[in-house]
């Protein structure tokens, strides 16, 4: 699935910020640390790939705003929370290659969830993400998550999927 280069730049930016923040201990994931991660990663964006300077600044501000809203205070109540920066496998039964990157795994005594920050929502991408999480989770944890969440930063909305119930909510 090919996306426009500037959209790929946005996703790469978000993935790097998320990695910076989630590699910190939970107690250090403050708003200040999120801002520091953003200011460290932002100069790496290739602004010349964007259709215009206006597009660059407006879309970046929107993404940063939604990212900070969703990341603020996450994980403090969880027993375990960490990031998986990359995983891949070949599923022989389906004859498909599965890959996940920059997913956040959260565990508490009563719930196991996986989430990912997407910059732009592409329906096929979300479906592929859900299927990859289920396969990865079976392989890695011998169970499927209770909840799979994709957070779409261009809109600020999240799509939540409960595998056992096969239900979506937004």
Average pLDDT, the chain: 88
Higher-confidence residue of 16 and 73: namely 16
- Give the integer Cα–Cα distance in Å for 69 and 45: 21
Sheet containing strand 112-118, strands side by side: 80-84, 103-107, 112-118, 147-152, 157-162, 167-169
Report pLDDT for 77.
57
- Give the integer Cα–Cα distance in Å for 42 and 40: 6
pLDDT at 21 over 70: yes
> pLDDT band for position 161 (50/70/90)?
very high
Which tens digit of pLDDT belongs to each residue from 25-47?
A: 888 888 999 999 999 999 999 98
Report pLDDT for 76.
53
Which tens digit of pLDDT belongs to each residue from 102-150?
A: 999 998 888 999 999 999 877 778 888 998 999 899 888 899 999 999 9
pLDDT at 98 over 60: yes
- Give the integer Cα–Cα distance in Å for 71 and 152: 13
Q: What angle do CA 117, 118, 120 make, to 5 degrees?
A: 155
Report pLDDT for 94.
81
Asked if 96 contacts 35 with a C-beta cutoff of 8 angstroms, the reply is no
- Give the integer Cα–Cα distance in Å for 103 and 118: 10
């Amino acid at each position: 699935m090919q996306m426009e280069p500037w959209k790929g730049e946005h996703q790469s930016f978000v993935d790097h910020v998320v990695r910076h923040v989630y590699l910190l201990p939970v107690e250090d994931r403050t708003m200040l640390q999120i801002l520091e991660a953003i200011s460290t990663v932002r100069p790496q964006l290739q602004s010349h790939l964007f259709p215009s300077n206006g597009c660059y600044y407006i879309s970046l501000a929107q993404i940063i705003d939604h990212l900070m809203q969703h990341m603020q205070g996450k994980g403090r109540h969880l027993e375990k929370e960490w990031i998986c920066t990359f995983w891949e496998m070949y599923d022989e039964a389906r004859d498909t290659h599965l890959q996940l990157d920059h997913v956040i795994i959260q565990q508490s005594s009563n719930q196991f969830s996986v989430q990912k920050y997407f910059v732009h929502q592409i329906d096929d991408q979300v479906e592929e993400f859900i299927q990859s999480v289920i396969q990865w989770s079976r392989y890695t944890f011998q169970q499927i998550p209770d909840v799979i969440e994709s957070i779409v930063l261009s809109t600020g909305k999240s799509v939540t999927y409960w595998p056992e119930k096969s239900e979506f909510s937004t």
